[in-house]
Structure 1
Amino acid sequence: MRMSFNMKFNMGLNGVINTNAKMSRAQEQLTKQTRILTPADDPASSAKVLGLDQNLAQTEQYQKNSVLLKNNLALEETVLSNMQTSMDRARVLAIASGNGTYAEQDLQAVAAELRQIQVELLDLMNTKNSEGGYIFSGYQDKITSYAFNPVTNSYEFQGDDGQKALQISPTIALPGNDSGKMVFDDVNARFKTSDLVVSAGGATSASIKVNNQTQFDAFYRNTYDSLVPANNTFNLVLSAPDIYEIQQNGTSLVPAVTGTFTPGEKINFQGLELEVNGPALPGQLDFSLNPPLKKNVLNTLQDFIQVLETPGLASFDRFEAISDATVQLENAMATLGNSMSSIGGRINVLDSVFETNEDLKINNKSYRADLSEVDYAEALTEITKQEIALQAISATFTKVSSISLFDFIR
């Protein structure tokens, strides 16, 4: 076969170019640490690597969300723990204020300390996170959680009941905050009754108070009827010669609650203590279970401070105020405890899911390496082989390209 000069030149040049391309490709694989430079190199593995890259990026975002959530929950847990400590101190002060030896100035001192605790609690309830949002305002995290309303003379919640959740796995999203409405406002005030009112007979005075709060609370929860208010009315019916019966809305209880009535002697009923004086027989006195109220700790302290700062307050009124404050503070502390337990549960889930995601990342990276990472020994060997081949082809091309018909004529 006849071979022209151009054919001979082009064949040699193509050999040099192809060998150089192979060596460059091996060098690029070594530099980028992957054997798949384009999808055409291995279409099937390339598609799998793309899916693994997306999965790894998604998992990495889940891990970032987990870190952010854990930081926010840790901040909230710290705030609630500090609030519990302050509330416990307020409860101790409330109990101490019942000391009969306390003079007016002593009560004023207690009120002053309680006001400082109130300021501290307000500051904690308006805590901001690292992003500048109020952690207890729900979705409205740019609005102060609690503020004093001079019109109502009370502290009011200004956020909403939303909880901002972040995804930490394909199927799990956890809230990173709790609304102040749930943590602070959804707290039961002390269960109480109305006054004991004379509806018939000649009683000169009557009183009712809770002397066993635990027993009365259980009775209240089992008895209070939000659908039929009349069922919350109770009657102390006094009959000659000296019999009393406690009825519910004019109907005898089952079993019947009866006993011997003596004016001035206390009648105990479901944690309540009733006392009637005067020629009451026959007659009837009524009282009702007050509707349940929700009250935040700031307003609890506000009301109690006002009582302590009122000079010449009757001992019964002070006793009621102390009972209200201590029960509501205990309820608020219990609610905080439940919130902290919820936070602890979420942190445990976060830790578990975080470790699972780390394991998935390791597995996916290992599988991706098997599919795409270059074999260093193979790549180095290929570079050396192509380098030697390039040298040989270059030398051969130089010699061949210099041979022509004129060399034979000479």
Structure 2
Amino acid sequence: MRLSFNMKFNAGLDGILTTQQKMNRAQDQLTKQTRILTPADDPAASAKVLGLDQNLEQVAQFQNNSVLLKNNLALEETVLTNMRTSIDRARVLAIASGNGAYTEADKKAVAQELKNIQVELLDLMNSRNAEGGYIFSGFQDKKQTYSLNNATGIYEFQGDDGQKALQISPTIALAGNDSGKFVFEDVNARFKTTPAVISAGGATAAEVSVTDQSQFDAYYKQNYDALTPANNDFSVVLTAPSTYEIQRNGASLVPPVTGTFTPDAPIAFNGLTINISGAAAVPGQVDFSLQAPEKKNILTTIGEFITALENPALSAFEFNEAISDTLTQTTAAATNIDSFLSSIGGRVNVLDSVFGTNEDLTVNNKAYRADLSEVDYAAALTEITKQEIALQAISNTFVKVSGVSLFDYIR
């Protein structure tokens, strides 16, 4: 076979270039810290690495969401805890104002402190998060949560009932806020009756008051009829010589509620105390009704009690009713806030658990990814050294072989 100079030269050059390419590849693996420089190096491992990278990015976003959620929940928890303290103070003031020794000046001083509490609660209910959104406005977080309606004097909710949820895992999304519609608006006002009305007979006065709120609440919930309003009308019918019967919508109760009537002697009925005065009350009739249920936020409750404190014309009965309303409704508002604080605590616990799980998944995925793609430093350094030696050998051989020709033999 004829071996030309060009063939020898090209063969030597190809050997040098191939060896350099192998050495450069080993250097690239070492520099980039991966053994897979292109998908062609290991198609199966390359596909798995791509999937792991996507999963790691997704988990990283879940972790960012978790941090944001935890900050938002911590803010809401702080706000609600401060509100709880203020509501407790309002309740203490309501109890204290029932002291018969309080003068009108004392009541006005209590009213002034309650005004300050009302301002503080309004500020807390209009709290904003780091992004400037109102935390209790639901989806309408650019709207102020509560504002005063000057025409009615009532603080009105401006948001909606939405909850902004963030994904913290492929299957779990948690709400990072609670709407004021549920936290502050969904609070029942005190169940009570309308004022007593003397509809027949010669009674001089009549009062119906709730003296056992728990017993009356249970009766109210079982018997209030929203479909037939007349079924909420009750009457104390007085007959000669001295008996009474309590009727509902003009009919006797089952079983009948009857007894001996004595003027000014209290009549007990399912948590109510009915007082009728006047020797000429018999025969006669006193009517009252179950008031329709309503909901009131704490700002309205405190506002109404402030009005009662500043009104010296109220009778002792009317003022005591205002105190009872305030005590019942502040307790209900505090209980509602407590339930949401508990809910926040539960969400934070889930958040911490999922966050830890995501951290473990990240560590495991990174370890698996390293096993698939990361370079073995010892192997890469060994490969570089081997290719350097091979390159030197080929270079030396190329110099010697390329210097051999027919003229060397002729000489």
CA distance in 1, matches of 2:18, 2:133: 62
Confirm or deny that 1:233 pairs with 2:233.
Answer: yes
CA distance in 1, matches of 2:39, 2:249: 84
2:16 paired residue number = 16
Residue 317 of structure 1 aligns with an amino acid whose one-letter code is: E
**For this pair of structures, how many residues does the alignment match?**
410
Segment of structure 1 superposing worse, 80-89 or 150-159: 150-159
Residue 312 of structure 1, CA deviation: 4.0
- 1:194-233 to structure 2, matched below 5 A, reads 194-233=194-233
Residue 396 of structure 1 aligns with an amino acid whose one-letter code is: T
CA distance in 2, matches of 1:93, 1:103: 14
- 1:2-401 to structure 2, matched below 5 A, reads 2-278=2-278, 279-401=280-402
Identity %, equivalent residues: 70
Q: What SS class does the counterpart of residue 281 from structure 2 fall into?
A: coil
Confirm or deny that 1:402 pairs with 2:385.
Answer: no
Residue 353 of structure 2 aligns with an amino acid whose one-letter code is: S
Residue 343 of structure 1, CA deviation: 0.5
Deviations 1:152-194 (A, max 9, x none): 1111111111100000111111100001111011111111101
Residue 5 of structure 2 aligns with an amino acid whose one-letter code is: F
Residue 138 of structure 1 aligns with an amino acid whose one-letter code is: G
Q: What SS class does the counterpart of residue 78 from structure 1 fall into?
A: helix
Residue 280 of structure 1, CA deviation: 2.4
Q: What SS class does the counterpart of residue 131 from structure 1 fall into?
A: coil
Residue 65 of structure 1, CA deviation: 0.5
Deviations 1:214-253 (A, max 9, x none): 2111211222122222221222122222221212222322
Q: What SS class does the counterpart of residue 159 from structure 1 fall into?
A: coil
Q: What SS class does the counterpart of residue 95 from structure 1 fall into?
A: helix
Residue 345 of structure 1 aligns with an amino acid whose one-letter code is: G
Residue 408 of structure 1, CA deviation: 2.7
Unaligned runs of 5+ in 2: none
**TM-score when normalising by structure 1:** 0.97
CA distance in 2, matches of 1:245, 1:376: 98
Q: What SS class does the counterpart of residue 92 from structure 1 fall into?
A: helix
Unaligned runs of 5+ in 1: none
Deviations 1:63-110 (A, max 9, x none): 110111011001100100000001100110111111111111111111
Residue 284 of structure 1, CA deviation: 2.4
CA distance in 2, matches of 1:370, 1:256: 84
Deviations 1:256-289 (A, max 9, x none): 2211111221101111111112322233222111
Computed over aligned residues only, the root mean square deviation of the Cα atoms, in angstroms, reads 1.3
The list of structure 1 runs, each at least 4 consecutive aligned residues, that deviate by more than 6 angstroms after superposition, is none
CA distance in 1, matches of 2:134, 2:309: 32
CA distance in 1, matches of 2:88, 2:95: 11
CA distance in 2, matches of 1:234, 1:311: 31
**TM-score when normalising by structure 2:** 0.97
